[in-house]
Amino acid sequence: MGESVKVLELQCPAQTSALSTGTRGYAQAMLKARNDADYMSSSAPTPRTNSTSSAWGKREKFGQAAQPTPLWQMKPEPHFATHLNALFKPLDFNTEVARRCLTHASHPSSINGHNAGMSFLGRRVLESYLLLFLNSSKNLKPSHDFHFITNWTLNTYTLGQHVGSKWGLGRVMRWVPTVTKERLTGPGDKDALLQSVGLYKVQGDAVAAVTGAIYEQFGGSVAHRAFHTRILPNLLLDGKNGGLPLPFHEDVLEICERMGGVEGDLMKPLEAQAEDSQ
């Protein structure tokens, strides 16, 4: 394990710890665009592990008022599915599935369903496809540690920062930041605050949830192609803060191109895509 860590560090050039200007700007814009009701109340207690208290954030209702709304009484919210459909053409996401995928457990509306279960499934799917890819790579060496590479590449914060931001999930997700609006807009180290506010963690969970939804609704073949064209190419980082190690980058680009590229039709047979590219 120790040798594999050193090998990976030697193969990945150093990267500054500060967030890039583009990433910082995206995160700040997403947080500034939120409504006041979507921030944690300054008087609300911090949630505890295994706590069932409904006082987290703005969730202050009890009894009958805190019961989930029956699906037949809920108003349609098509904008979640619209966003995902635009990202994964020509897939047509179920409206309710899309809503759950983009609703975090921290948001008051999560009482009607959130993405924790789908995120669990999606993470298993991501890990399986990454392990299959590594095992088939011609650049795999005995010194490479599967467990380390998997955790390094699919770290939730890394998924959120580099995949979730690319997908623009912050514009449609429902969640409650882990800090008050007053602290976010006040003085202090913005880089450190943006990394700790919870945006990338929540986006990473949403990326896993969307992957799980694709696998469940459209099948393993479509999910596999989405992994190689919409997810893994965004994890070809050159620093020490996560991402797929450099030796495998060439294989990722080759497979992505073979599967139709980063904007390829996820439903089209690979043979047909190969003919179109010729």
166-185: average pLDDT: 81
CA 144 and chain centroid, separation: 25
pLDDT score of 67: 63
pLDDT score of 1: 46
User: Is pTM beyond 0.75 here?
Assistant: no
Kindly write down the DSSP assignment for every residue of 155-188, as one continuous string.
-HHHIIIIIITTTTGGGT-B---SS-HHHHHSSS
Quick check: 55 pLDDT over 90?
Answer: no
CB atoms within 10 A of CB 24: 15
pLDDT score of 8: 40
| Distance (Å, whole) CA 31 – CA 194 | 9
Q: For the chain, give the mean pLDDT.
A: 78
- Domains and their CATH numbers in the chain: 74-277 (1.10.1520.10)
pLDDT score of 107: 85
DSSP conformational letter for 103: B
Q: Go through 208-238 and write b for each residue having 16 or more CB atoms within 10 A of its CB, e for each that does not.
A: bbbbbbbbbebeeebbbbbbbbbbbbbbbbe
pLDDT score of 53: 36
CB 172 within 8 A of CB 80: yes
Q: What is the pLDDT of residues 1-50, one digit of tens each?
A: 444 443 443 343 333 344 455 555 555 565 555 555 455 554 444 444 44
In sequence order, the β-bridge partners of residue 103 are 174
